[in-house]
């Protein structure tokens, strides 16, 4: 059971928009920065979003992040088949004194 809760799967058609939620508590998301990672099949995770809503260089602006209270959201617009991957949220947990991740969300682009 992960500390952060994500939907196991989401799907949408090419060109459409999808959002992935990440729910936590005041000991983690509520008081810390959230990051998001994309893991393409058979590869290492890749940083997509950091500090709740910032994109590293090279990450297209189709990817966006937001945070409100104890939840965070990853948005992806203009979906492409190449976006099919597992997506993870992560943050620090003050009670556990540890980095925690969500269980991951599998994105299918139909």
Partner 1 sequence: QVQLQESGPGLLKASETLSLTCTVSGGSLSPNYWSWIRQPPGKGLEWIGYVYYGGSTKYSPSLKSRVTMSVDTSKNQFSLRLNSVTAADTAVYYCAHLELGMDYFDSWGQGTLVTVSS
Q: Which of 62, 106 has the CB closer to partner 1?
A: 106
User: Stretches 15-23, 61-69, 72-80, 87-95: which one binds partner 1 (CB under 8 A)?
Assistant: 87-95
- Residue 31 CA, chain-centre distance (Å), reads 17
User: Stretches 10-18, 19-27, 47-55, 67-75: which one binds partner 1 (CB under 8 A)?
Assistant: 47-55
Per-residue contact track with partner 1, 88 to 107, x per CB under 8 A? x-xxx---xxxxxxxxx---
Per-residue contact track with partner 1, 4 to 43, x per CB under 8 A? ----------------------------xx-x-x-----x
Closest contact distance (angstroms) between CB of 15 and partner 1 is 29
Q: Which of 104, 19, 10 is CA-nearest to residue 67? A: 19
Closest contact distance (angstroms) between CB of 31 and partner 1 is 11
Could you tell me the two tokens for 60? 């297209």
Binding residues among 49-68 for partner 1 as defined by CB under 8 A: 50-51, 56
HEC secondary structure over 1-69: CCCEECCCEEEECCCCCEEEEEECCCCCHHHCCCEEEEECCCCCCEEEEECCCECCCCCCCCEEEEEEC
C-alpha span between 67 and 9 (Å, rounded): 20
């Amino acid at each position: 059971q992960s500390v952060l809760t994500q939907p196991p799967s989401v799907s949408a058609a090419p060109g459409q928009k999808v959002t992935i939620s990440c729910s936590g508590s005041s000991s983690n998301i509520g008081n810390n920065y959230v990051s998001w990672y994309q893991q393409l099949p058979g590869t290492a995770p890749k940083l997509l979003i950091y500090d709740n809503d910032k994109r590293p260089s090279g990450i297209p602006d189709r990817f966006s992040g937001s945070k409100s209270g104890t939840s965070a959201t990853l948005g992806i617009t203009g979906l492409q088949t190449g976006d099919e991957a597992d997506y993870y949220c992560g943050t620090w947990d003050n009670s556990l004194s540890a980095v925690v991740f969500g269980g991951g969300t599998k994105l299918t682009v139909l």
